[in-house]
Amino acid sequence: MSDELFAQVECPVAMAGYELLDKIGEGGMGQVHRATQLSLARTVAIKFLNPLSPEFNQGALLHRESRAMAALAHPHVVTIYDCGQVDGRPYLVMEYVDGSTLRSRMEAGQSWSIAKAAPVLDAIAQALSYIHEQGILHLDLKPENVLCTKNGSIKITDFGLASSHMDARMLSEMGLAFGSHDYCSPEQRHGLPLDPRSDVFSLAVLAYELLTGQLPSRVYTPVSTYNRSLPRAVDDVLRRGLERQPETRPASVEEFRQALLRALGWRRPSSSRRQFALAAVLGVLLGGLALALLRPPRVERIETSRVLENDSVPQSAPFGGQDFLLYPVNRTSSSNLFLLRPEGGQILNLHEDDDEDIFPACSPDRRWIAFTSERGDARHICLLDLISGEVKQLTHGKGINQAPVWSPDGKRIAFTSDRDGNHEIYVMNADGSELINLTRDPGFDADAAWSPDGTKIAFASRRQDYGGFRVFVMDADGRNPHAVSPADSPGYVYPSWSPDGKRLVYGGPVDEAIEIFVCNADGSDHKQLTRLGGENSLAIWSHDGKRIVFQHSRRGAQVGSLFIMNADGSDVKQILKAMGPQDGGRPTWLSAAPSKR
């Protein structure tokens, strides 16, 4: 990093609102002090950055980048609380991690076992994938910037103010693109365009070092040279990750993570938290009896914040009641099923694995969760037993089987499948037997929704003479299909019935956006409920018909945020920010049974 670029100045001896304690770290960009935030009586870490040369507007840059990083909410990412300047010195206020760096736990020349290295690399990769989804690059991944807490958790820190809207030339001129020589990619060192593959390179270096005790040389040396216990497939994965040209590396950290863990033969162990989560759900669904017998599971609190594209401000809507939501949260690089309250706040992991679990739906008897699971090159309908915790796969073969919905009597499941070469609406028994194609149309039919009385099914259809998708309604046996929405939509229709069966909610086109609409079941009286811009869809009515929860995605974003509003479109509130999958982020209401006395 250029010495001329930074002016070395002393850290402030006092700072309003904080009591500065000891210095806990120092690097080329500045110093880190432990401090107490007086208003909350909590310990924080404050990083004082060395000022840039006058030609750079560091204040504006710091404010913009720290705002982006402060929006991050992930268990493996250090949280940014605040930023500013004091005595001419820019600073960041961060979460204080009581632990040590990964470097301090490594010994020169000593390799780690697969059992020890794999969970650390998995956690780091999850964190990188998450920040990439938010449009942020790390660009300085190294053992010194990986923190290990005393309870064994892993957190990445020191992003170096790098995000996707800062080009390589700007970063290079600021001295921030070079990272640490042993770990940064060739394109970083040469000031070339940067993207997530730059962080893939750094992660591959770190993986190589943990598994061999050595840093990789410019000419690749097989890992078996240093560690004969490693499977041969690990060489192929690391060799790709360390390619000099970014276009020959894995396209994403997630692709690299999955390939590496497969090669290592390591799978994240199942957690006892899942059993606690299942008990928690049973407590909700059965009136609280199960929860009274068990210690509550540890939950994670996620703070909501505004993500709207226009200037409208969502108003607070502190909805009460005993309802819960089931939602596929993209918290660990794969979308897994989580439980949360409609007012936001705490989320609880219900089902976690390495597969992509989306489109959850709860059975009418509240015993089963049907969902779509992306397994290998196919998507399948699976059932999660809320009592035993076992998962059963209902569909088989290749292709897409997704978006399951239950019939009101709980005996059948409707879903979308392309098993016959075209997307159609299928129905099967709840055990996966007696599969029937209901639509048999050469167009594109998807996203079924059963009416509350079981006699109708609404769905999205792009018929051959249409320019896009419309809401259709047909009899439950597939007869009498007819359109009930007037405009062609590019997608994201996902119709849903009101509890009384008189209305439908769906996503419809408004200029370049998709907004939430409602209409009568016969196709009359269409009303626009949202004006958020972007893509708003996957709307589901609450059991009492008073609220609608839906997913909002900013235009071009790869993640969705969960929102709730009154059934008339008023009191819009964000529940969970940028943690849902772009595809399949359908929420499901879980309504508690009356408490038994």
> Which residues partner with 149 through β-bridges?
99
Determine the Cα–Cα distance for residues 506 and 536; give it in Å rounded to an integer: 9
Per-residue pLDDT of the chain (597 residues; tens, 9 = 90+): 334 333 444 556 678 888 988 888 776 567 888 999 988 888 999 888 766 545 445 555 555 556 666 667 788 888 888 878 887 777 888 888 888 899 999 998 999 999 899 999 999 999 999 888 888 888 889 999 999 987 778 999 876 444 544 444 555 555 454 557 889 899 888 878 888 999 999 999 999 999 999 999 888 999 988 998 898 899 999 999 999 999 999 999 999 999 999 899 887 654 444 444 555 555 555 444 333 333 333 333 333 333 333 333 322 222 334 577 887 776 544 557 777 778 766 666 665 555 678 899 989 888 888 999 876 668 899 998 877 778 889 998 878 899 999 999 999 999 999 988 889 999 999 999 999 999 988 888 999 999 999 999 999 999 877 888 999 999 999 999 999 998 888 878 999 999 999 999 999 999 889 999 999 999 999 999 999 998 999 999 998 899 999 999 887 666 788 899 999 999 999 888 877 776 778 888 876 543 333
Q: Which residues contact 103 (CB under 8 A, 6 or more apart)?
A: 142, 143, 144, 146
Is 390 within the bounds of a domain? yes
Is 393 within the bounds of a domain? yes
Residue 208 DSSP SS3: helix
Please provide the DSSP assignment of 259-312 as one string.
HHHHHHT--PPP-HHHHHHHHHHHHHHTTSHHHHHSPPPP-EEE------SSS-
If one counts the domains in the chain, the total is 2
Is 479 within the bounds of a domain? yes
Q: Determine which helix (DSSP H) or strand (DSSP E) holds 334, and give its type and residue range.
A: none
Is 372 within the bounds of a domain? yes
Residue 435 DSSP SS3: coil
Domain boundary among 49, 77, 96: 96
Residue 65 belongs to domain with CATH number:
3.30.200.20
CB of 62 closer than 8 Å to CB of 83:
yes
Residue 470 DSSP SS3: strand
Q: Which CA distances in Å does 526 have to 102, 491, 493, 520? A: 57, 18, 14, 7
Closest CA to 372 of 351, 386, 387: 351
Q: Count CB-CB contacts under 10 A for residue 411.
A: 13
Q: What's the gap between Cα 180 and its chain centre?
A: 29
CB of 526 closer than 8 Å to CB of 520:
no
Domain boundary among 44, 74, 96: 96
Q: Which residues contact 421 (CB under 8 A, 6 or more apart)?
A: none
Is 121 within the bounds of a domain? no
Residue 525 belongs to domain with CATH number:
2.120.10.30
Is 140 within the bounds of a domain? no
Q: By residue range, what is the domain housing residue 365? A: 272-590
Is 418 within the bounds of a domain? yes
Domain boundary among 96, 115, 150: 96
